[in-house]
Structure 1
Amino acid sequence: MSLIKIISKDFDIEDNLSEDKLRQTMVDAFAYLIDNDFPKMIQILYKADVDQHKLKALLETVEGKSAAEVIADAYLIRQQAKIETWKKYSVK
Structure 2
Amino acid sequence: MKIKSVMSAIVICMVCSKSYALAQKKATIGMTGVENTGAIYVHITPNPNSCLYSGVYFTQPAIIDKALSVALSAKMASKTVQINYDQPKGANTQCIGQAIYIE
Check whether TM > 0.5. no
TM-score, normalised by the number of residues in structure 2: 0.31
Report 1 or 2 for greater relative contact order, CA contacts < 8 Å, sequence distance ≥ 6.
Answer: 1
Higher helix share: 1
Higher strand share: 2
Structure with bigger gyration radius: 2
